[in-house]
Amino acid sequence: MVKQKETDHTAINLVGSGTTIKGEIESKGDIRVDGKIIGSIRTKGKIVLGETGEIEGDLYCANADFSGKVEGRADVSELLSLKESAIFKGDIITNKLSIEPGAKFSGTCSMDQDIAKTAQDPKKGK
């Protein structure tokens, strides 16, 4: 029998400026968004949102760096960084949060290791 090799989780997915995607995105690798996503994103990697990027929907990931606009819920199991140009409206659940001067955040934030552990799979928390 041939043993199948597990795929490498180092893939980087890019949504370029001028591109709009509607729907659910699921990945094992990192995702960079410079365009617009309307819908949920779920990844075991990192979500990087560039200054021109926009996300409307729920996010589930291990780490995230936001420089653009987000409206929705972010469940980040490790570290969420809001850069100085970031605008975030919604709810944050994370283990660690970094907000640079100039970033705008409107919503609620829960920082709890037990809550953050269920961030990538909200079904486990129910």
pLDDT in tens, 29-40: 999 999 999 999
Predicted structure pTM score: 0.82
Residues 6 or more apart whose Cβ sits within 8 Å of residue 30 = 10, 11, 12, 13, 43, 45, 46, 47, 48
Tens-digit pLDDT profile for residues 58-87:
999 999 999 999 999 999 999 999 999 999
Q: Report the distance separating Cα 83 and Cα 69, nearest Å.
A: 11
Are the C-beta atoms of residues 68 and 49 closer than 8 Å to each other?
A: yes
- Residue 64's Cα: distance from chain center in Å? 5
Q: Report the distance separating Cα 88 and Cα 29, nearest Å.
A: 23
Q: Over pLDDT 70: what percentage of the chain? A: 81
Q: Report the distance separating Cα 54 and Cα 52, nearest Å.
A: 7
Domain boundaries, the chain: 12-125
